[in-house]
Amino acid sequence: MLWDVDDTLFDHTGADRKAFHLHFTAEGLPSDDAALATWRELTEAAYARFTAGELTFPGQRRERARAYLGPETTDDEADAWFTRYIAHFEASWTAFPDAAPALAELPYRHAVLSNSVNTVQERKLTHLGLRHHFELLLCSDDVGHSKPDPRAFHAACKALDLPPEQVAYIGDRLDLDALGAHAAGLHGIWLDRTGDTDAPPGIHRITTLATLPKLLAEL
């Protein structure tokens, strides 16, 4: 069983929202809904450039900081600004309440495949008390490929020494996670916590991890 982390096991959106409000208020920046929407757009765009290999992990953080501080901002100034955001973000880290019970109940080997850097996700899963469930933690920075590239999924299957058809991948993003996994020959499971959209053919859709054991038993 392969897992996404952010917004699957870990409430990234909730922690980011809290940290955004605290950080932007402290920095004297607008922190209303429109400003949050802009912050999310900047985050998505910079993160897409990181997963495409165009920016380093610190580079995508600096890009987001410079959107507020100006293009002439030095790396040190951008890093300091982002570090103040991260302090609020990490103070808000919370796992979804259905994560630990699902992991404890599922009688499978578990590993993580995340579009992130290993040190960040290692620290996060340890902090959330979930790290011990996973025998492997693979991130795009050590795999060299990002979801939905099939090579990312195949590298994870290889690390588990299992053929793709014997592995299920679960994540909150239909495109990056479930469809990517499905195209790579794995079982693609879409954790759609908030939506009410039907899944495309071949994709398994659940709205809570509480129903994952039943779904996997039927695959």
**What residue ranges bind Mg ion (CB under 5 A)?**
4, 6-7, 172
> Cβ of residue 7: shortest distance to Mg ion, in angstroms?
4
In the bound state with Mg ion, the residue whose beta carbon lies nearer, of 20 and 81, is 20
> Cβ of residue 66: shortest distance to Mg ion, in angstroms?
25
In the bound state with Mg ion, the residue whose beta carbon lies nearer, of 66 and 147, is 147
Instruction: Report CA torsion sign: 98, 100, 104, 110.
Output: positive
Which distant-in-sequence residues (6+ apart) come within 8 Å of 136 by Cβ?
111, 112, 156, 159, 160
> Cβ of residue 12: shortest distance to Mg ion, in angstroms?
7
In the bound state with Mg ion, the residue whose beta carbon lies nearer, of 114 and 164, is 114
Maximal CA-CA distance, the chain: 56
> Cβ of residue 172: shortest distance to Mg ion, in angstroms?
4
Radius of gyration of the chain, Cα coordinates, nearest whole angstrom: 18
In the bound state with Mg ion, the residue whose beta carbon lies nearer, of 75 and 90, is 90
Tally DSSP H helices, then E strands, for the chain. Answer: 10, 6
